Structure formats: structure tokens, C-alpha cells
Amino acid sequence: MEEWKKSVLVGAILLILAIIFAIIRNEINIWIIFIILLAIIDIALGILRKIKKV
């Protein structure tokens, strides 16, 4: 699997897990926000890697 695909996949999984965890706990704390931000950054970097290769 290409590196950019791994990055986007890991970011998407982190994002989904953070949202599920926030729903289960019925609260959003600083750690959940931090994980969501990291997931968004990971997805963005994966997309940038794909654009650079093309």
C-alpha cells in the first residue's frame, strides 16, 4: 500500500474512533479534540503526498 493511502486510512480510523468515543462518553474533552486534530492533519498530509507525486 502506498504511503499516502496509509496516512489517509490511519487518519480516517482515528477520526472515527474519536467520534465514537465522544458519543459513548457524552462529552468532548481536550484529548478527544487533540485526536481529531491529529487525524485531520494526517489526512491532509496524505492528500498532499498524493498531489506531490502526480
Tell me the whole-structure pTM to 2 decimals: 0.85
For residue 1, the model assigns a pLDDT of 82
DSSP code, position 54: -
pLDDT score for 23: 94
pLDDT band of 54, cuts 50, 70, 90: low
> pLDDT digit string (tens) for 14-52?
999 999 999 999 988 999 999 999 999 999 999 999 998
Q: CB within 8 A of 43, min separation 6: which ones?
A: 7, 8, 11, 12, 15
